[in-house]
Structure 1
Amino acid sequence: MAFHHAQHSQSLNQSLSELSDINVSFEFFPPSTPEMETILWNSIRRLEPLNPKFVSVTYGANSGVRDRTHSVIERIQKETNLLAAPHLTLVDASDEELIELAKHYWNSGIKDIVALRGDLPEGSPKPTRFANDLVSLLRSVADFDISVAAYPEVHPDARNAQADLIHLKKKIDAGANRAITQFFFDVESYLRFRDRCVTAGIDVEIVPGILPVTNFKQTKRFADMTNVAIPQWLSRQFEGLDNDPGTRQLVGANVAIDMVKVLAREGVKDFHFYTLNRAELTYAICHTLGVRPKP
């Protein structure tokens, strides 16, 4: 058995080393302090040579943070060779404002957008506009490259998995170019979801969103908010490491590398990394996938 297992993992690594044409993209968030700003820019510089398809910058719901999103996007555009894709949400803007913003983006050379409904403020009424409306609106302004969100474990607001899938199809039919999934740890749930997308006639790339974990407590908090299952084995991996960041890094890297190996073997060619503005783990995972700086 041990011998068989060694052969298996050897073939896994071998098939990885033969991978070509893997695309990666990275997500960052706008920093709120000068220290965070430094960390963000160090990460961007470190990851830039990996030549990602695009990098996205998340969107703060209040106007101050929104301005920070813009300034990060503009600086990426000015100082790097990266394609910058801002997140855009419609919950806190009218159609007129969104059209103005879309025109502004297009005219300043920003042609890639991650289109989201956005989180509803506490106590707000049921939404009447959805991400598919935002996709249609963007399409009416210009020929943007549009990414939308997908939820392998079902959006917290969706009635059920089928309703959620129909909603994703609406976003694709409205003109989205690809879907990026919410982070997940159960690879099977992603693979089943991808199959269901195909069956539903969704014919764009369903890009897995990968969250490399270093801070398990924080990840658990994110997961509880977004309906993501934390498998028992994952909790066990991080047990007893609260005060041991070095080991947490290694364990987190190992978990993520295992996941991307299986996904790559299942034919996934595009990966989106939720970097949390850190570069080390994402860089290592990309290296394993054969995504490396051009000599």
Structure 2
Amino acid sequence: MATPIPQFSAEIFPSETAGGVVRLEQTLAALRRLDPHFVSVTYGAGGSTRGASQQALERVRAAGLAAVPHLSALGAAREDVRRMLDEYRGGGVSRLVVLRGDAPSGLRGHGDFAFATDLVRFIREETGGHFHIDVAAYPECHPQARSCDADLAHFKAKIDAGADAAITQYFFNPDAYDDFLDRCTATGIRAPIVPGVMPIGRFSRLVQFSEARGIEIPRWIRRRMEGFGDDSASIHAFGVEVVVRLCERLLGMGVPGLHFFSLNEGERVGEIWRALGLPQAACARAAVAQTHRALPDPAG
């Protein structure tokens, strides 16, 4: 059996401000040059960004890219989800990223879905196999999990409920991902698990973001970053180097793909993408053209 070709994708978030929309358009233009397999669009707590997320999905499509919506379980009502699923099917969407999500501010209770597992099961009951469903995985363990074993059991429940694959939370320690794969295999999980990749921008923001999510930034990276002080050029170059080296090791492990959390900074993703030598739009089109030229003439 041929080895599956890795799939490379990216995530964006919606924006309702004029400046944010301009930045989003610039990000999509940068991603278009890379030709990712798909671009996923985040969805605010309890659907708080539903309108903006829908507009962002339309912008992704207008850029000629495959748009994949996120769906969050917490705060969602069955009828609302059913309506969205019908809209997505009617609009040609065939893939979803399904997450538990965050509870909206002031939310009483959980809506109709307490966990991503419940939402995955509902989507399968409503739509059968129409959607390819990606869920989240946590190589360094979800920060709210009682234990790593409990977290793995939650992940397996999502796969057993009908999820096709997973995208991990980002990490900087590939050994954590490798260990997670081993534990998944031992538990009987065979679904593809795509590593999530976070480009390093402002390091102070990354530290804050990571601490809130239980993600370890290795001490050597922290100390190197601290040593650069206010030298933004060195910080940028080192950040790209760290992520490229991480991705190279992951690709060497035979991962099923890479999913870049762009934070609407498409040029930063592009710099890493090109350094890795990943397929880009022009290369992809040339490969397709070459394949067509190689096909026999049906009239000949």
Question: What TM-score, normalized to structure 2?
Answer: 0.86
Kindly provide the amino acid, as one letter, of the partner of residue 117 in structure 2: N
1:5: which partner in 2?
none
2:95: which partner in 1?
112
Q: Deviations over 1:11-43 (max 9, x none)?
A: xxxxxxxx9933211000112421221121111
Tell me if structure 1 keeps the 8 A contact 2:68–2:96.
yes
Q: Deviations over 1:87-145 (max 9, x none)?
A: 11121121221111111111122221110111134686785621011111111222111
Is residue 2:155 matched to residue 1:168? yes
Is residue 2:10 matched to residue 1:23? no
* Inter-partner Cα distance in structure 2 for 1:229 and 1:59: 25
1:60 to 30, 37, 44: 44
1:97 to 80, 86, 90: 80
2:264 to 273, 277, 285: 277
Bigger shift: 155-164 or 244-253?
244-253
List structure 1 segments (4+ residues) > 4 angstroms apart after TM superposition. Answer: 121-128
1:3: which partner in 2?
none
1:263 to 237, 243, 250: 250
Kindly provide the amino acid, as one letter, of the partner of residue 259 in structure 1: L
2:64 to 81, 93, 99: 81
1:42: which partner in 2?
26
Is residue 2:212 matched to residue 1:225? yes
Bigger shift: 196-205 or 117-126?
117-126
SS in 2 for 1:202: coil
SS in 1 for 2:102: coil
* Inter-partner Cα distance in structure 2 for 1:30 and 1:146: 21
* Inter-partner Cα distance in structure 1 for 2:250 and 2:82: 37
**1:81: Cα distance to partner?**
2.3
Provide structure 2 residue ranges, at least 5 long, that are not aligned to the other structure: 287-300
Bigger shift: 131-140 or 243-252?
243-252
Question: What TM-score, normalized to structure 1?
Answer: 0.87
* Inter-partner Cα distance in structure 2 for 1:181 and 1:166: 15
SS in 1 for 2:133: strand
* Inter-partner Cα distance in structure 2 for 1:205 and 1:57: 20
Residues 233-248 of structure 1: pairs in structure 2 closer than 5 A: 233-241=220-228, 243-248=230-235
Is residue 2:120 matched to residue 1:135? yes
Provide structure 1 residue ranges, at least 5 long, that are not aligned to the other structure: 1-18
**1:284: Cα distance to partner?**
2.1
* Inter-partner Cα distance in structure 1 for 2:256 and 2:76: 35
Kindly provide the amino acid, as one letter, of the partner of residue 93 in structure 1: A
Tell me if structure 1 keeps the 8 A contact 2:75–2:107.
no
Residues 195-214 of structure 1: pairs in structure 2 closer than 5 A: 195-214=182-201
Is residue 2:179 matched to residue 1:192? yes
Tell me if structure 1 keeps the 8 A contact 2:133–2:164.
yes
**1:183: Cα distance to partner?**
0.8
Tell me if structure 1 keeps the 8 A contact 2:9–2:260.
yes
Identity of aligned pairs, percent? Answer: 38
1:70 to 54, 58, 75: 54
Closer/same/farther in 2, CA of residues 237 and 114 from structure 1, 3 Å limit: same
Closer/same/farther in 2, CA of residues 227 and 122 from structure 1, 3 Å limit: farther
2:295: which partner in 1?
none
Closer/same/farther in 2, CA of residues 88 and 20 from structure 1, 3 Å limit: closer
Bigger shift: 278-287 or 117-126?
117-126
SS in 1 for 2:49: helix
SS in 2 for 1:277: coil
Tell me if structure 2 keeps the 8 A contact 1:20–1:290.
no
Tell me if structure 1 keeps the 8 A contact 2:47–2:76.
no
SS in 1 for 2:45: coil
1:13: which partner in 2?
none
Tell me if structure 2 keeps the 8 A contact 1:178–1:205.
yes
Bigger shift: 29-38 or 189-198?
29-38
**1:240: Cα distance to partner?**
4.4
Tell me if structure 2 keeps the 8 A contact 1:22–1:289.
no
* Inter-partner Cα distance in structure 1 for 2:221 and 2:48: 36
SS in 2 for 1:120: coil
* Inter-partner Cα distance in structure 2 for 1:205 and 1:124: 34
